[in-house]
Amino acid sequence: MFWKRHKQSDTSKRADGLYQHGNAELIQLRRVVKTFDTAAGKFTALKEVNLRVDAGEFVAVIGKSGSGKSTLINMIAGIDRPTAGEVFVGNTAVHTLSEGQMAVWRGKNLGIVFQFFQLLPTLTLLENVMLPMDFCNVHAPNERPAYAMRLLEQMEMADHAHKLPAAISGGQQQRVAIARALANDPPILLADEPTGNLDSKTADAVFDLFAGLVKQGKTILMVTHDHDLAQRVTRAVQIVDGEIIEKQLADALPMLTDAQLVEFTRRVEPEQYAPGALILSRGAPVEHFHIILDGRVEIVVPQPDGAEKIVATFTRGNHFGEVELLRGSMSIATVRAAADAPVQVLRVARATFAQMLEQSPELRAHIARLVQERVAENIAAQKGAAQ
């Protein structure tokens, strides 16, 4: 376990469950625009981007080179400032901080992991990990070496603590960079292509380190070009020409155009359910189309003796609610989160779903076929339960 030496009050919510500026999620970008002046004229890297990342999520940001991925990370870190829009992290309005305030806030609340490690070449690995503690005056000076050594132990790098960065491999340097990012026990880690210069085996090991940190309560936002890694996180968002698309929305509905996906991403709602929680009740009105981001949901129908039968289990990328929305009926089954883990879904409101179908004949045809299949499956399940 990583040490927890101090509480980050900047990430504590009010009694109403919101942060100071009304954001319900730990990280929230509201209509963020970033425009750069270049030799060729103005270039808009981010176009009214909205993004929400909740505490404990592991979110991947993917996109082509120049799509705005790194700019997005820099907005959250305060490395760049938005041309327009707002950036909130916990109780802090990041876009309002002065340079001095920004440096102190960043040092205590964010850990940043870069693609090229950025370890200082003339300092030992132990000294590199201690740097953030020295800068932010975290931990008593005589405790810092022991704390840094503990972090290196967690990264399996303690045996190299007194070496210079040039004496170890790239994968080992990235482990040390992660230890340095954790030096002040920040609640959030931002990682910009952290596996971009690593072989696949080492990249997997670094990813596993991140996954372990999420299990311990950290929130991680990772920029990556690796679509395989992006499939293993809690949620992935995709940037296309400075605008965000929910990747699972694109994967579930590939017949939608990029422009349509951008528009509908702005209108979807992420929702989390505890293990075993009820999502839809049989016979109740259905107001949303649901796409599963993470976890498993069970589709349940009653049997004549009053017992329940699980007729299907849906996992990441599957969706439900389209039968009722297309037919205007009540829920034909009970849907609940599986008992062993929480479930996260994207919710698409009825009106937005109707617009999707109106704008995409291919999607309407696809959903119509799916509805026929689901209805047939439900009838077969009910007949089986009656026998």
For residues 229 and 288, membership in a common domain is answered with no
User: How would you list the strands of the sheet with 343-349, edge to edge?
Assistant: 269-273, 343-349, 288-294, 319-320
Report yes or no on 253 lying in a domain: no
Report yes or no on 162 lying in a domain: yes
Q: Which tokens sit at 178? A: 């992660």
Report yes or no on 263 lying in a domain: no
Last residue of a domain, one of 224, 241, 258: 241
For residues 80 and 166, membership in a common domain is answered with yes
For residues 306 and 201, membership in a common domain is answered with no
Report yes or no on 248 lying in a domain: no
Q: Which tokens sit at 43? A: 């270039």
The reported pTM is 0.75
For residues 40 and 140, membership in a common domain is answered with yes
Q: Which of 328, 329, 347 is nearest to 279 (CA)?
A: 347
Last residue of a domain, one of 191, 223, 241: 241
- Integer-rounded Cα radius of gyration of the chain: 23
Half-sphere exposure (CA, 13 Å, Cβ side) for 113? Answer: 31
Q: What is the DSSP letter of 325?
A: H
Secondary structure of 297-319 as H, E, C letters: EEEEEECCCCCEEEEEEECCCCE
- Counting every residue written for the chain, the total comes to 387
What are the residues whose beta carbons fall under 8 Å from the beta carbon of 107, sequence distance 6 or more?
Answer: 132, 135, 136, 138, 184
For residues 108 and 63, membership in a common domain is answered with yes
Round to whole Å and give the CA distance between 300 and 293.
20
End-to-end CA distance of the chain: 53
Query: What's the Cα-to-Cα distance from 151 to each of 3, 104, 178, rounded to whole Å?
Result: 8, 22, 9
Q: Which tokens sit at 383? A: 């007949």
Round to whole Å and give the CA distance between 125 and 157.
9
The alpha carbon torsion through 224, 226, 230, 231 (nearest 10 deg) reads 180
Round to whole Å and give the CA distance between 352 and 377.
26
Last residue of a domain, one of 223, 241, 259: 241
Which CATH number goes with the domain that contains 206?
3.40.50.300
Report yes or no on 62 lying in a domain: yes
For residues 28 and 155, membership in a common domain is answered with yes
> What is the domain range of residue 133?
9-241
Give me the pLDDT at residue 1, please. 39
Query: Does the CA dihedral 205-211-215-217 come out positive or negative?
Result: positive
How would DSSP label each residue in 210-269? Answer: HHHHHHTT-EEEEE-S-HHHHTTSSEEEEEETTEEEEHHHHHH-TTS-HHHHHHHHTT-E
Q: pLDDT tens string for the chain (387 positions)?
A: 344 444 445 778 888 888 888 888 899 999 999 999 988 889 999 999 999 898 999 999 988 888 888 899 999 999 999 999 999 999 999 999 999 899 889 888 999 888 777 899 999 999 999 998 988 888 889 999 999 999 999 888 999 999 999 999 988 998 899 899 988 889 999 998 888 777 888 888 888 888 988 998 999 999 988 777 777 888 888 898 899 888 888 888 888 888 888 888 888 878 889 999 999 999 999 999 999 988 999 999 888 777 888 988 999 888 899 888 888 888 988 999 999 988 989 899 999 999 989 999 998 898 888 878 877 766 665 565 555
Q: What is the Cα 380 distance to its own chain's centre?
A: 38
Q: Classify burial at 155, counting beta carbons within 10 Å of its beta carbon; exposed 0-12, middle 13-18, buried 19 or more.
A: buried
Q: Which tokens sit at 241? A: 């020409």
Report yes or no: 67 and 258 within 8 Å, Cβ to Cβ: no
Report yes or no on 303 lying in a domain: yes
Report yes or no on 261 lying in a domain: no
Count the neighbouring beta carbons within 10 Å of the beta carbon of residue 344. Answer: 21
For residues 218 and 306, membership in a common domain is answered with no
For residues 236 and 283, membership in a common domain is answered with no
Q: How many domains does the chain have?
A: 2
Round to whole Å and give the CA distance between 265 and 327.
24
For residues 63 and 195, membership in a common domain is answered with yes
For residues 178 and 75, membership in a common domain is answered with yes
H helix intervals, the chain: 69-77, 99-109, 125-136, 144-154, 170-181, 200-215, 227-230, 247-252, 258-265, 322-327, 350-359, 361-386
What are the residues whose beta carbons fall under 8 Å from the beta carbon of 367, sequence distance 6 or more?
Answer: 322, 326, 357
Round to whole Å and give the CA distance between 106 and 77.
7
Which CATH number goes with the domain that contains 278?
2.60.120.10
Report yes or no: 322 and 373 within 8 Å, Cβ to Cβ: no
For residues 219 and 328, membership in a common domain is answered with no
Helix axes 200-215, 170-181, angle to 10 degrees: 20
Report yes or no on 350 lying in a domain: yes
Give me the pLDDT at residue 2, please. 44
For residues 227 and 296, membership in a common domain is answered with no
Give me the pLDDT at residue 227, please. 77
